[in-house]
Amino acid sequence: MDTYQPYGSLAVALLAGLLIGFERDHHAARENGPKGAFAGGARTHSLVALVGALAMLLHPVAGWVPVALGLAGVVALLAIGYRVEVRDVGQRGLTSEFTFVVTYLLGSLATSDVIPDGVARLTLVMATAVVVTVVLSIKPGVVALVGKVSTADISAALKFLFVAVVVLPLLPDRAYGPLDILNPFRVGLMVVLIAGIDFVGYVAVRALGSQRGLGLTGLIGGFVSSTAVTLSMSARARADRSLHTACALSVVVASTIMFPRVLLEVAVVNPGLVQGLALPLGLMTAVGAIGAVLLYLASRRARDDGEDLALANPFGLGPALKFGALFVLVLVLSRVASEYLGRQGAFLAGVLAGAADVDAITLSMAQLTRTHAIESPVAVTTIILATASNTIVKAGMAMVVGGWRFAWRVLAALSALLGAGALGVAWVWIWG
């Protein structure tokens, strides 16, 4: 088997070079570059990979000299070609040159013994080649996204990353305060979790744009703030009656997205609570999805051109610290209410907190259940009450801002959704 292993390694090196080279050929055709330009394509990259692979095969008898000389030769040719091209066509980037270096190193890795397991080594080579090809191919999307990112976005992201990567690991991981509720590290971790989920939706809005139809606006906007979607769509519906059904669709979709998001948050913090929440949240998601489908079918004839949503970057330090303070407040109040008022205290905390923010009460219940401070059925009911309270608030917003002619569609869908949640909670208490 070892006798034929070099042939397989050389074949993988060749395939890796071909894959990367094909992308370079496609890039050159897409950019309409001049014929005879230095940047090579499939043949050149495959040959560079083979040079690296053959140089590494000489390593057992000649040491690292062939590998080093091969790399030096590739770099020298790249430098000469780059200098000539810059002189002839002006300033250009270094992506193609670095791609050749990576191709050479992948070829060398394919025939090396750094990773003794041949299958694992060749899998790593091909996986890396695929990743390199993907990185090279997404240039248009990356350039478009960079154009949409503001200086404020970058500043906010860097500040938050400083907190997440530098400050968070330094926080003490022990309980403080009344009833040993407050754990600074856990509080910081919850802030990072929520801001990270929010950022996914924010990036989707920035990358895709919200002007892709009102349904898509509700979908991607709901990951950031379903309340913002509700207010925006309600105002739009009041201004244009022809969009009542389409705007209702956006509100229902954004509201429905809240339930899988809550389940995701709980799964990260306390996976043991997911089983109790899966049925009520699953029923609410399913009913919301059915309502969205019905509204979509009714709105297909409407002018559905989407709308830009005014969503702030969730990675700002200000929003992160505000959520941290809210989380601590809700955590303390929930624990104290449960301790001294029993189940009714926890339920009241869920209703009141959910009207303003579902994330804080959700994470509080997940944390308190994780430490056995609250029973699972109580936590499940409290979280469902919080989502119900938040849903009712959004229904009220639709009524006040959008008017009855618009709001009845939203109310019908959200009422059915709340009924499904009530059935799910009843199941948890009776048979759970």
Give me the DSSP letters along 347-392. HHHHHHHHHH-HHHHHHHHHHHHHTTSS-HHHHHHHHHHHHHHHHH
Contact 99/16 with Cβ under 8 angstroms?
no
Of all helices (H) and strands (E), which one includes residue 125? helix 118-137
Query: Residue 356 class from Cβ within 10 Å (0-12 exposed, 13-18 middle, 19+ buried)?
Result: middle
Contact 184/172 with Cβ under 8 angstroms?
yes
pLDDT in the model for residue 272 = 86
Q: Report the C-alpha gap between 145 and 127 in whole angstroms.
A: 25
pLDDT in the model for residue 33 = 55
pLDDT in the model for residue 36 = 44
Contact 9/122 with Cβ under 8 angstroms?
yes
Which amino acid, residue 265? E
Q: Report the C-alpha gap between 203 and 209 in whole angstroms.
A: 9
Which pair of tokens denotes residue 334? 């929930």
Which pair of tokens denotes residue 175? 């309980």
pLDDT in the model for residue 215 = 63
pLDDT in the model for residue 314 = 56
152-183: b (≥16 Cβ within 10 Å) or e? ebeebbeebeebbeeebeeeeeeeeeeeebbb
Query: Phi/psi at 310 (nearest 5 deg)?
Result: -85, 90
User: What does each C-alpha distance from 13 to 42, 74, 100 come to in angstroms?
Assistant: 13, 16, 13
- 3-class DSSP assignment, residue 411: helix
DSSP state letter for 178: G
Which pair of tokens denotes residue 43? 């043949």
Query: Residue 342 class from Cβ within 10 Å (0-12 exposed, 13-18 middle, 19+ buried)?
Result: exposed
**Residue numbers of the chain with a pLDDT score lower than 70:** 1-3, 30-39, 89-92, 141-149, 152-153, 156, 177-181, 193-218, 220-221, 223-224, 300-320, 335, 338-339, 432
Which pair of tokens denotes residue 22? 């094909």
Please give the angle made by the CA atoms of 394, 377 and 358, to the nearest 5 degrees.
25
pLDDT in the model for residue 303 = 47
pLDDT in the model for residue 306 = 46
pLDDT in the model for residue 92 = 67
Taking only Cα atoms into account, the Rg of the chain, rounded to an integer number of angstroms, comes to 28
Q: Report the C-alpha gap between 119 and 300 in whole angstroms.
A: 52
Task: List, in order, residues 6 or more apart from 186 with CB less than 8 Å away.
Answer: 173, 367
pLDDT in the model for residue 77 = 86
Q: pTM for this structure?
A: 0.59
Query: Residue 113 class from Cβ within 10 Å (0-12 exposed, 13-18 middle, 19+ buried)?
Result: exposed
pLDDT in the model for residue 259 = 92
Contact 190/164 with Cβ under 8 angstroms?
no
pLDDT in the model for residue 296 = 82
pLDDT in the model for residue 14 = 92
DSSP state letter for 210: S
pLDDT in the model for residue 204 = 59
